[in-house]
Every structure is written in structure tokens, then in C-alpha cells.
A and B are shown apart, each in its own frame.
Chain A
Amino acid sequence: TQLLEQSPQFLSIQEGENLTVYCNSSSVFSSLQWYRQEPGEGPVLLVTVVTGGEVKKLKRLTFQFGDARKDSSLHITAAQPGDTGLYLCAGGRAGGTSYGKLTFGQGTILTVHP
């Protein structure tokens, strides 16, 4: 069974602080995705990384895929209250019949206080 360990589970910070969320596995994934979910809604895709060592930036968010494609991180610079939510990492495998099957981490609940 492929598992994704996500840490920390909870993060409570002040506006303007930086933070990093980690996603680790002993398995190799062909892609790693990060989602953000707000209460009462489904997860919304933030980014997909597919190449080992890949770094993607989305405004104040920086995503990195590990060289061995087993881990990923999400770094938020100068967090804002609007960043509050549940952040989920999810690993996918290409090929075969696994297209719609993602393995999710447990999630990180981020609260940014004004």
C-alpha cells in the first residue's frame, strides 16, 4: 500500500509568517499534486509536479517535487488569512488503469490569524 505522510497536521500562524508543509512517502509517484479544501467544498487543485526536482511557483506558494519523486513540499511566503484551509498532497501513478486513483496525505489544517 502506498502511503503519503503529511506534516504537520495542524499549523496556526500569524499573518506575514512563512510556513512549509511536507509530504513524504517510501514509494515513487509519477506525479504529486497539492490541493486546497475549504469547509463545505471539494478539494481544488493548486499545482501538479511531475518531474523529479521540479519547482513550481504560484504567487506566494512554492512547490517542490523531490529528486526521487517520493516527497514534496509546499512553502507559503508571507501567509495571509485567505490562505486558511486544509492543504492536501496527493500522489498519482501514470499508465495502466490508475488514472483516477490518487493516494492522499492526511492533510494539514492551516489557520492564519490576522
Chain B
Amino acid sequence: KAGVTQTPRYLIKTRGQQVTLSCSPISGHRSVSWYQQTPGQGLQFLFEYFSETQRNKGNFPGRFSGRQFSNSRSEMNVSTLELGDSALYLCASSQSGTVRSGANVLTFGAGSRLTVL
């Protein structure tokens, strides 16, 4: 089955602009999580959506937002871009909200690389 698809793969924006990134999870997966990856900070959790509801949020400013649609596809938006927002934004999906074994198994997409000039 198809993996996690993120679009666009690459984009360049200027400071002050906004950007919307899209993520299509694996078919049947209802949970979508977003992470920001930078050389200095590594992978940091942004937020997670399950059945169109945000159920977890990381420590990022309100300029970072997201949503999930009824088909489980998700978008994240960053408004008023800053130079420091340049990063690889990764989306990951998982099957359900029940974790019997205690393991959170995520499948990541290839990411959207954002460059802010």
C-alpha cells in the first residue's frame, strides 16, 4: 500500500509569508503527527491529530497550526514565517489510538523542506 505522502517536497518562502504543507497518511491510518527537523534541534514534535481532533501539541508558537480532514489527510500552516522556521517538516501516520503493546509505531513521509529567505 502507498506510504505517507507529503507535498510539496521543497519550497522557498520569504520572511513574513505563510505556508501550508499537506500530508496524506497511509490508507486506514487515522492519526497524523507533525515534526520539525533542524540540524540544531533535531526532531521536535509539533502536534498530532486523530479523527479530526488535535489531541497533542508540542511547544511551538501559535504561528504553527494544523488541521485534519474527514479522510484523515492533514495540513499544517505556518504564518508570518521567520528565518528560523527553515526546516524539514515531517509528517507521520499511525493506525489507531489504541496502543496495546505500549509502542507508538509511526510511519514517516519523506518530508517537506522549507527554506525561508
Contact = CB atoms under 8 A, between A and B. Distances in A.
Interface of A: 30-31, 33, 35, 40-45, 48, 50, 88, 90, 92-95, 97-107
A100 B103 contact: no
B102 A100 contact: no
B102 A50 contact: yes
Contacts of B102: 30-31, 50, 92, 94
Contacts of B109: 42
A93 B101 CA distance: 11
B42 A100 contact: no
Contacts of B90: 42-43
B56 to A, nearest CB: 5
Given A104-B42, A104-B43, A99 B99 contact: yes
Nearest to A104: B43
Interface residues of B, number: 30
At the interface, is chain A mostly helix, strand, loop or mixed? Answer: loop
A50 B103 contact: yes
A99 B43 contact: no
Contact of A102 (B55, B99, B101, B106): B106
B45 A48 contact: no
Contacts of A93: 104
Given A99-B50, A99-B104, 16 more contacts: A30-B102, A30-B103, A31-B101, A33-B104, A42-B90, A43-B90, A92-B103, A97-B48, A99-B99, A100-B104, A100-B106, A101-B48, A101-B58, A102-B33, A104-B43, A104-B44
B111 A100 contact: no
